[in-house]
Structure 1
Amino acid sequence: MTEDSRADALRDKVRSLMPKAETDLAELVSYKSVYDPRVFPIEECHKAAQWALDAFVEVGLSDAGLYETPDGSQAVVARYPAPAGAPTVLLYCHYDVQPPMDESAWKSPAFQLTERDGRWYGRGAADCKGNLVAHLTALRAVRDSLGGKGFPVGITVVAEGSEEQGTGGMEAFVPQNVDLLRADALVIGDCGNAEVGIPTFTQTLRGTVNVIVTVETLAGPLHSGQYGGAAPDALAALIHVLATLRDAHGNTTIAGLPGDGIWDGQQYAPEQFRADADVLDGVDLLGDGTIADMIWARPALTVLGMDVPPVVGSTASIQPKARARLNLRIPPGIEPEQALKAITTHVESNTPWHARVTVETEGLASGFRSGTDGPARQAMEAAFHTAYGRESTTQGQGGSIPLCNTFAETYPTAEIMLIGVEEPKCLIHAPNESVDPSEIERIALTEALFLTSYGA
């Protein structure tokens, strides 16, 4: 059988499996697998984990089990031993999901997979149950194409149960189970393409620095009519500090952090970004660089929340204390400790009137940059080209996946590639999350082609 005929056979096989993929995803989406007992019972996560375990065992990964991680969540690990001389591939995904948020904003039930306008809607349909189903479909296609005689490479599937909560269960589990998860190539199925139909490697992930800034000026609130004009206002001082973190064009301006990074991969058209972000008519986009520069290659400061009096119920008072929670995203190359020192110094230096200011560290995470060459990357690039009919490109991602750094530190010689079904229209983490089923089909075909060619 020629290479082209093998590819055509896999393409036909994946296509024939798509009804099963839809059934699989509908079942998975029905589990309210939010790893937070305050939102849904943890039993929902256990049901999703058991479903995934059973599915991967059925496809031929018989060395499988549920492993409790240090944060209490269950990780699904299913393996197939590598044939003699063949490499091992780790396929990662997670089965836990974000809460549905405002359920009244959903046009169809959040935990019921619903087809609408050619897309499949439901919480986790893309992030990340859609990626789990893509892995599963790829494995079925390879198994069936080989007559049920196993796989040409070693396979380890890892489905995490608490990724969305950021509680670090898997990050702690990996170093404790090095041999269990050891692989030559790691395919992180928790990303996606720049657009539907454009095969994309996510090359970089931004790191994060979260801090809480507290400004204090008075022992207690004062009447603004009696004291206003001379008494130092903590809320006004906080507003002043926050205003110094961006310039008039919206560039993040924290002393000591470079703000001129350039993204040389896939670009993001401003009009497409405006549509994807649902920016209001007439409102400017931020920054002096391209969209790709601003969201993937430069620091970005966001005010996540503030403790200030609400408008309704507020009084004519000068505030003695105000707080803000800040999120700083940093590209690879800027260490989180460096960024923490820079933002702390900046806040302290720009707080007016000698007001008391404290900067409390809430969390740090490093950025990540994957490799761009190696036998696994070359095989995946070829698989992308065959599956999509065009060359692959690269993008960054504003979010963080701390597990990637854990994998890189634990397996320094392994190739790590980030791909998946999540493109901008998926609206992951938002109401009306959806997935384009053609992306599940093409990512599954890409992975099936990769698994049959890598190491050959």
Structure 2
Amino acid sequence: MSTDGLAGRIAALMPRAQADLTELVSIPSVADARQYPPEECRRAAQWVADAFTEAGLQDVHLVETPDGSNAVIGHRPPPPGAPTVLLYCHYDVQPPLDDDAWTTPPFALTERDGRWYGRGTADCKGNIVMHLTALRALGDDIPVGLKFVAEGSEEQGTGGLEQYVDAHRDLFTADALLVCDTGNAAVGVGTATTSLRGLVNVVVTVDTLAGEIHSGMFGGPAPDALAALVQLLSTLRDPESGATRIDGLDASGSWEGAGYDEQQFRADAGVLDGVPLTGTGSVADRLWARPAVTVLGIDCPPVVGSAAAVPPKAAARVSLRIPPGTDADAARTALTGHLTERAPWGVRVKVEPESTGSPFRAATDGAAYGALGDAMRTVYGKPMTFLGQGGSIPLCNVLADAYPSAEIILMGVEEPQCLIHAPNESVDPTEIEHMAHVEALFLHAYARAHR
């Protein structure tokens, strides 16, 4: 099939892609039974299994992973002498957070100003539809073997698929692994992500009193747990620049790939006018080459309903992103030690580890990256860009350990305007169309490279 013919077939499939994404987004597949019924995740998993069976994969079925989530796996045998490519995506999504912050309902795909809005439109149901569109456009003209896996608890970080892969390595053996859970530097800029930050999450709890006491009668000498927690958390940042400063953790790395324009970053992140960025060095340094700490949440009395009482206990969930070259266990030890040793006023501090994931760096000098570069240039008319990614995908390290000779490629339909994990998540449908075209061209180019 000619390149023009393939592009035409993909363009003709876009109404179906929109219909598919509309169905998928309507399923609130949040992998947290405390908030959403678990059967919704199973319903999404079955939808994925049925769709990829229809698209030509064989033996597509659900398997339960050690964390209780369902992964969807399937395959297509390779022609004689052809390589095998693994296609990855995940069907679980982040919770919508504040429903009132959404302009349109989070679980109803809505088209507005040329974009499709809804939870999961980009992360990662848009990538599911991208895979489907590429396979449908190719039909029987697939010159490589395929293995497929859709994860069901990626957003929860509970590691079900990572453990399953480690115990069933033969099921996922491939020459190239397309991990489609990232995206382009901007709409229309074909990009491969070559670097991922690792992740350390902990919960720090401060205890000071046996229970709440009247702030008028006891406030002053009675230690305020919330104030102590605020004081402790402030030590994680430089007081002037706001840069992450954790005892025993190097914060001087520099990024050698493509940069990130500061004004573009401000626009992409929605930084308010007059508010400076935190940290030092280039934006790319701060995003992809240095540790970054975030306070994700605090347990304390809310403003509405609070009483005139000294808080006896307060807790915070602290997230630390770490760049390639930093050991995740060493980072957890450093963060735990910092929080314990910097406890103000002699208060009791307990630090509980929650989750840990190692950073990742891809090798880009193999045949798969060459084929992807050719496909990106054909579709986007310019050389492929390499970027880092501030997010963490622990599965990449599991795959790298399990299949050391395989090339791992991170790509997808996401770009900064998507606002993944935030209210009003959206996707540009042209990215689904173009990245489906890239994937289809890649499969042919990669097969030719192995002849």
TM over 0.5: yes
Q: Using the alignment, how far apart are the partners of 2:58 and 2:341 within structure 1? A: 59
Q: What is the match of residue 386 of structure 2?
A: 394
Where do 1:411-450 residues align within 5 Å?
411-450=403-442
Q: Using the alignment, how far apart are the partners of 1:114 and 1:353 within structure 2? A: 52
Distance 1:43 1:445, change over 3 A: same
Distance 1:218 1:75, change over 3 A: closer
Deviation at 1:374, TM superposition (A): 0.5
Where do 1:167-178 residues align within 5 Å?
167-178=158-169
Distance 1:311 1:423, change over 3 A: same
Distance 1:29 1:202, change over 3 A: same
Query: Is residue 2:191 matched to residue 1:206?
Result: no
Task: Indicate the larger mover: 347-356 or 275-284.
Answer: 347-356
- Asked whether the 8 Å contact 1:194–1:266 carries over to 2, the reply is no
Letter matched to residue 111 of structure 2: E
- Asked whether the 8 Å contact 1:142–1:452 carries over to 2, the reply is no
Query: Is residue 2:6 matched to residue 1:10?
Result: yes
1:165-204 Cα offsets, whole Å, 9 max, x none, are 2222211111222111111100001101111011111111
Q: What percent of counterpart residues are identical?
A: 61
Query: Is residue 2:332 matched to residue 1:340?
Result: yes
Deviation at 1:317, TM superposition (A): 4.6
Please, what TM-score do these two structures have when normalized by structure 2? Answer: 0.93
Secondary structure in 1 matching 2:148:
strand
Q: Using the alignment, how far apart are the partners of 1:363 and 1:446 within structure 2? A: 34
Deviation at 1:318, TM superposition (A): 4.4
Where do 1:2-401 residues align within 5 Å?
6-143=2-139, 148=140, 150-220=141-211, 230-247=221-238, 248-401=240-393
Secondary structure in 2 matching 1:455:
helix
Q: Using the alignment, how far apart are the partners of 1:359 and 1:237 within structure 2? A: 14
Q: Using the alignment, how far apart are the partners of 1:224 and 1:36 within structure 2? A: 38
Deviation at 1:403, TM superposition (A): 1.1
- Aligned pair count? 447
Letter matched to residue 265 of structure 1: G
Structure 2's unaligned 5+ residue stretches are: none
Deviation at 1:434, TM superposition (A): 1.0
Secondary structure in 1 matching 2:250:
coil
Letter matched to residue 75 of structure 1: A
Q: Using the alignment, how far apart are the partners of 2:69 and 2:260 within structure 1? A: 37
Q: Using the alignment, how far apart are the partners of 1:99 and 1:171 within structure 2? A: 22
- Asked whether the 8 Å contact 2:157–2:355 carries over to 1, the reply is no
Structure 1's unaligned 5+ residue stretches are: none
Task: Indicate the larger mover: 25-34 or 304-313.
Answer: 304-313
Please, what TM-score do these two structures have when normalized by structure 1? Answer: 0.92
Distance 1:109 1:319, change over 3 A: closer
Q: Using the alignment, how far apart are the partners of 1:336 and 1:164 within structure 2? A: 19
Q: Using the alignment, how far apart are the partners of 1:375 and 1:137 within structure 2? A: 24
Q: Using the alignment, how far apart are the partners of 2:288 and 2:8 within structure 1? A: 37
